[in-house]
């Protein structure tokens, strides 16, 4: 296919070269046309249909090959065929030629451009898919933009061919009419540049902008219609009210305060939200204690005396709370009030698009941001309420280590907590309907983690349907369906880790008609706006990712679009989103993986480096895992990376930076990495890619060159026999 593209490109370049070599452009000159007008008209009158056909073929060839002369040919049509016949001929031929140029650009260049710069062009591609006809119509109507550039550039976008053809015909029609009409007065025309007067050019510009202006007007009318049943307040108490003081709400409030907006932050429970109080912070503190216990238990591999750790579980959980308390000042009321944010405690409820009631007290704001987060989702398994259960919100109240812990869910939260409790001494069983752990990751990741969990004594019941919870003779039991057979799993405590659901209840959203998506999150547009443009949502309540760092990322857009969206708005950029599951080994990823690439028919080259060969991993007894990179074929552009290993959450950041700023594997390979570190695995993965793309012909040539430099090979001389010793 690549060879065919190159051959086709060579033919086009040959045609263009011949055009200039034989100076065919002299026949497309206004002076030549005026001088030969009478003879050309006579030929047309002798064979009108043949003349029209040949003219249209020539016009299509000139525009298709992006050669100069289309303007003169348009004048010629008016001079030779008259206004109406000339208009039809030029309109059809120009559309055909433009479409041919469009298709040639698409065939030869689009795949290469999209593979090389696709991530940078993602926003443009989405815009062309959504509003490409408006943009094309504007470009066609404004003669300031060279048409041959439009033809070639549009071929690189995802706009449909049929849309391109008919919009081009309609968009070029006013300019075509002006030129054909001028051609009917060819004898009075001194130059083609004088056809478009400033007034006519301005009219084309306004006509081209009209669809976009009309669309904005329609959007404004729709927005006003949304507010039709609501009366805005005469004045606003605040510029911004933020509901929810988790990561999304805190960052939104902080940005608003920085730009001197009057902002109120409302939280019904604790500042810091789930991340500080029940999520990221406590779980990582627990994982640290669990890792220490595991290291003590396995210290024999390091040549140290290995004794079973004496776990004081109550002390472990008290340390978790102490860590929370040490971090609390970062998210405290005192800090945010010092930054200029008014902090209020209470239940917030929307009573209008501009009014919030905080425990019944009204507060008006020009903009409202919903950042209420999410809560653990509990599946409706029969008997679960009677048996009782813990979630990632409530597990922190435990002070006695469960002897037998049953974990429902093999996703990131379930895996992290299951491994932590197992290392602290619980007998842990994971039950999940999915066939493998961490189902969003690639199968080889799941296989590695499954083997590691089983090595550590965690029982895995995967691909099993939780049937019913019972209490039998004082023991808590789960019946797990395994085909036609039910397996009884006894446990002391149940931990439910089956995902998180957006917190949307009790806020008056139903009364305002604010819609939810199929997964329960609030339905927002690319600017994070709900159906009311002044009510935005960010963080877990908005999705599509439920990570603290994504919530903080969205918060910037929510704050800026909420405060300044009347003048300029910004689409949220989800192009490079990393995440990490903090098991041991850690599983970190950015971009797409093999599974997603296959599902989306995305072509890729795979590069893999196993940490079993990495010096630092061997020295640390952490040689489990790998670095896996997906690369766009024929380039070094990174489509995605997965790192499984010790401190993978840190190691992945180099790939995040590279993808964010368009750096490829060559740049990573050319970067000095400290020896010995885990991040050297990134460089060795880049080296594996480079080795697979080594220029073999060039290397053979260099081998020949070095052979010449060294001279002909010589046979090593045999050593001379030692001289006989004189014997006394």
Q: Which of 10-24, 139-153, 189-203, 623-637 is the least confident region?
A: 189-203
List the one residue out of 551, 543, 547 whose CA is nearest residue 253: 551
Per the structure block, which two tokens stand in for 515? Answer: 């819609």
Instruction: Give the Cα separation of 533 and 528 in Å (integer).
Output: 9
Residues 305-319 have pLDDT tens digits of 878 899 999 999 999
Write out the H or E segment, with its range, that includes residue 664. none
Please enumerate in sequence order all residues whose Cβ is within 8 A of that of 78, keeping only pairs 6 or more positions apart, or say none. 86, 179, 180, 181, 182, 183, 184, 186
Instruction: Count other C-beta atoms under 10 Å from residue 508's C-beta.
Output: 15
Residue recorded with tokens 């939104």 = 252
H/E segment holding residue 557 = helix 548-564
pLDDT, average across residues 146-154: 82
End-to-end C-alpha distance for the chain, whole angstroms = 86
What DSSP character marks residue 62? H
211-215, 398-402, 474-478, 710-714: which range is least confident on average? 211-215
Strands (E), 268-360: 342-345, 348-352, 355-358
Three-state secondary structure of 678-690: CCHHHHHHHHHHH
Query: In the prediction, which pLDDT does 727 show?
Result: 41
Residue 43's pLDDT band (boundaries 50, 70, 90)? confident
Spatial separation of the C-alpha atoms in residues 396 and 276, rounded to whole Å: 12
Q: What tens digit of pLDDT does each residue of 151-209 get?
A: 888 888 888 888 888 888 888 887 788 777 777 765 554 555 555 455 544 555 555 55
Comparing 577 with 170, the larger pLDDT belongs to 577
pLDDT at residue 198, as a whole number: 57
Residue 132 confidence (pLDDT): 78
Q: What pTM, to 2 d.p., does this model score?
A: 0.78
Q: Which helix (H) or strand (E) holds 699?
A: helix 696-710
- Cα–Cα distance between 441 and 457 in angstroms, integer? 22
Q: Beta strand 263-267 with 238-243: parallel, antiparallel or unpaired?
A: parallel
- With 80 as the cut, is the pLDDT of residue 336 above it? yes
C-alpha–C-alpha distance, residues 441 and 92, integer Å: 52
Rounded Cα distance between 592 and 578, Å, is 10
pLDDT in tens, 645-703: 999 999 999 999 999 999 999 999 999 999 999 999 999 999 999 999 877 788 788 88
Which tokens sit at 252?
């939104």
């Amino acid at each position: 296919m690549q060879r065919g593209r190159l051959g086709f490109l060579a033919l086009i370049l040959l045609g263009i070269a011949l055009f200039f070599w034989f100076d065919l452009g002299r026949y497309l000159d206004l002076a030549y046309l005026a001088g030969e007008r009478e003879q050309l008209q006579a030929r047309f009158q002798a064979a009108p249909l043949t003349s029209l056909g040949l003219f249209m073929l020539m016009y299509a060839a000139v525009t298709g090959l992006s050669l100069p002369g289309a303007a003169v040919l348009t004048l010629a049509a008016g001079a030779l065929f008259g206004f109406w016949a000339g208009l039809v001929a030029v309109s059809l031929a120009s559309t055909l030629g433009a479409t041919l140029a469009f298709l040639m650009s698409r065939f030869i260049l689009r795949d290469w451009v999209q593979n090389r710069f696709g991530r940078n062009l993602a926003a443009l591609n989405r815009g062309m898919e959504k509003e490409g006809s408006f943009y094309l119509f504007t470009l066609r109507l404004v003669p300031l933009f060279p048409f041959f550039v439009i033809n070639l550039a549009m071929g690189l976008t995802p706009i449909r061919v049929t849309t391109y053809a008919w919009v081009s015909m309609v968009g070029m029609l006013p300019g075509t009419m002006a030129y054909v009409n001028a051609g009917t007065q060819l004898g009075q025309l001194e130059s083609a540049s004088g056809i478009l007067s400033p007034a006519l050019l301005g009219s084309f510009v306004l006509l081209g902008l009209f669809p976009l202006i009309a669309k904005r007007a329609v959007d404004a009318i729709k927005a006003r219609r949304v507010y039709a049943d609501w009366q805005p307040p005469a004045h606003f108490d605040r510029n911004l009210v933020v509901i929810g003081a988790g990561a999304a709400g805190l960052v939104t409030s902080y940005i608003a305060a920085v730009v001197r907006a009057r902002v109120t932050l409302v939280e019904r429970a604790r500042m810091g939200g789930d991340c500080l109080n029940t999520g990221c912070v406590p779980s990582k503190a627990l994982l640290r204690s669990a890792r220490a216990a595991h290291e003590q238990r396995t210290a024999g591999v390091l040549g140290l005396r290995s004794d079973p750790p004496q776990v004081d579980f109550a002390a472990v959980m008290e340390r978790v709370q102490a860590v929370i308390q040490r971090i609390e000042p970062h998210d405290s009321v005192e800090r945010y009030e010092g930054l200029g944010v008014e902090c209020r405690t209470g239940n917030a409820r929307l009573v209008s698009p501009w009014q919030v009631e905080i425990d019944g007290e009204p507060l008006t704001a020009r903009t409202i941001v919903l950042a209420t987060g999410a809560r653990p989702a509990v599946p409706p398994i029969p008997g679960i309420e009677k048996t009782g259960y813990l979630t990632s919100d409530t597990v922190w109240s435990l002070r006695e280590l469960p002897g037998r812990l049953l974990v429902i869910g093999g996703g990131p939260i379930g895996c992290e907590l299951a491994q932590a409790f197992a290392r602290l001494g619980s007998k842990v069983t994971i039950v999940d309907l999915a066939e493998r752990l961490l189902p969003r990751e690639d199968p080889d990741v799941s296989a590695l983690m499954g083997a590691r969990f089983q090595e550590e004594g965690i029982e895995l019941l995967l691909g099993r349907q939780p049937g019913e919870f019972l209490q039998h003779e004082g023991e808590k039991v789960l019946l797990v369906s395994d085909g036609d057979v039910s397996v009884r799993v006894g446990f002391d405590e149940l931990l439910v880790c089956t995902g998180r659901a957006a917190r949307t209840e009790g806020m008056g959203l139903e009364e305002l008609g604010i819609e939810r998506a199929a997964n329960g999150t609030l339905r927002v547009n690319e600017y994070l706006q709900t159906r009311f443009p002044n009510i935005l949502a960010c963080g877990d309540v908005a999705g599509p990712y439920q990570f603290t760092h994504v919530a903080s990322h969205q918060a910037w857009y929510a704050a800026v679009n909420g405060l300044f969206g009347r003048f300029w708005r910004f689409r949220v950029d989800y192009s490079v989103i990393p995440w990490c599951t903090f098991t041991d080994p850690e599983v970190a990823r950015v971009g797409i993986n093999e599974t997603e690439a296959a599902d989306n028919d995305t072509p890729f080259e795979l590069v893999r480096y196993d940490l079993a060969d990495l010096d630092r991993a061997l020295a640390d007894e952490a040689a489990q895992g790998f670095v896996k990179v997906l690369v766009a074929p024929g380039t070094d552009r990174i489509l995605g990376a997965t790192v499984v290993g010790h401190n993978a959450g840190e190691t992945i950041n180099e790939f995040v930076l590279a993808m964010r700023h368009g750096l490829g594997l060559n740049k990573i390979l050319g970067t000095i990495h400290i020896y010995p570190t885990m991040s050297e695995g990134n460089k060795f993965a880049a080296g594996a890619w480079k080795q697979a793309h080594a220029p073999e012909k060039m290397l053979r040539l260099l081998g020949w060159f070095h052979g010449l430099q060294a001279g002909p090979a010589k046979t090593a001389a045999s050593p001379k026999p030692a001289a006989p010793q004189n014997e006394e």
